[in-house]
């Protein structure tokens, strides 16, 4: 092939890849989440997606992130109490739309490809960290990623949260010893609201949400 046509083929391939990734239907063919146990116990994971047109109402936090209205009072109380103990917390990531989730996944796949992963491996690896659009709890607004702020050490913040979050209705959603069930790597910053009574049970019994819901 001539140099010029080789270059053209290369450009065409690159364009096609960009087009395919952008147009890829990342919405997984999974079942709609079971809403029969109420919103607090709705399990959204790689097998159960956020029901289409599920009605949610949001509150915008001072940091600019949004959370579902119903989790806000307990979230605020938790942050206030942490601060009174010298631990400054901030919501780094709250509600995410399906489209935002898709962009996040595309970005992660791109980063991994740049690191030398093949297309397939990049996709598999990315999904260990970024949920398939439709299957992220962030799309419910009941889950938050929490960061330490203003000099608070991250380890101290995560320790406080893992010891106390359940008192405010939040659970560490992806514990290190449940990755085979949740399918998600350990995330000390990701908390899901389930309400105080369920959170206390889940904490005391040492279960993850999937296991707890099965016991009911």
DSSP state of 47: S
With a CB cutoff of 8 Å and minimum separation 6, the contacts of 158 are 148, 188, 189
> Roughly how many angstroms between the first and final C-alpha of the chain, as a whole number?
66
Find the shortest distance in angstroms from Cβ 190 to Zn ion: 4
Choose, from 100, 125, 149, 187, the residue flagged as catalytic. 187
**Strand ranges inside 27-181, DSSP E:** 31-32, 48-49, 58-60, 66-68, 89-93, 143-148, 170-172
Q: How many residues bind Zn ion (CB under 5 A)?
A: 2
At 163, is the secondary structure helix, strand, or coil? helix
Structure tokens at 204: 């005391």
Annotated catalytic residue 187: yes
Q: What's the length of the chain?
A: 216
Q: Give 125 or 145: the residue with its C-beta nearer to Zn ion.
A: 145
Let me know: does 62 contact 114? Beta carbons within 8 Å.
Answer: no
CB of 143 to Zn ion, least distance (A): 6
Nearer to Zn ion, 190 or 198 (CB): 190
Residue number closest to Zn ion, CB atom: 190
Give the residue, chosen from 81, 88, 125, 145, that forms a contact with Zn ion under the rule CB under 5 A: 145
Shortest gap between Cβ of 115 and Zn ion (angstroms)? Answer: 22
Q: What is the pattern of x (binds Zn ion, CB under 5 A) and - over residues 175-214?
A: ---------------x------------------------
Between 151 and 172, CB nearer to Zn ion? 172
Taking residues 90 to 129 in sequence order and writing x for each that binds Zn ion by CB under 5 A, - otherwise, the string is ----------------------------------------
Angular region, 170: left φ>0, alpha ψ -120 to 50, beta rest? beta
Could you tell me which of 84, 49, 18, 41 has the C-alpha nearest to residue 213? 41
Specify the residue, 102 or 190, whose C-beta has the smaller distance to Zn ion.
190
Binding site for Zn ion (CB under 5 A): 145, 190
The set of catalytic residues is 187
């Amino acid at each position: 092939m001539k140099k010029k046509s080789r270059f053209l083929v290369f450009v065409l391939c690159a364009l096609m890849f960009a087009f395919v990734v952008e147009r890829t239907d990342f919405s997984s063919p999974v079942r709609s989440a079971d809403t029969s146990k109420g919103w607090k116990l709705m399990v959204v994971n790689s097998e159960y997606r956020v029901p289409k047109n599920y009605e949610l109402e949001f509150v915008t936090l001072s940091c600019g992130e949004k959370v579902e209205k119903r989790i806000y009072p307990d979230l605020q109380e938790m942050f206030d109490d942490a601060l009174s103990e010298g631990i400054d917390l901030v919501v780094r990531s709250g509600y995410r739309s399906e489209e935002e989730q898709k962009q996040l996944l595309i970005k992660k796949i791109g980063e991994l490809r740049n690191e030398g992963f093949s297309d397939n491996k990049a996709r598999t690896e990315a999904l260990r960290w970024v949920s398939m659009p439709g299957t992220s709890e962030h799309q419910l607004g009941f889950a938050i990623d929490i960061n330490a702020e203003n000099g608070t050490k991250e380890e101290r913040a995560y320790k406080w949260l893992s010891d106390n979050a359940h008192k405010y209705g939040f659970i560490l959603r992806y514990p290190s010893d449940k990755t085979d069930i949740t399918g998600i790597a350990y995330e000390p910053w990701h908390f899901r609201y389930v309400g105080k009574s369920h959170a206390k049970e889940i904490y005391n019994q040492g279960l993850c949400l999937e296991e707890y819901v099965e016991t009911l």
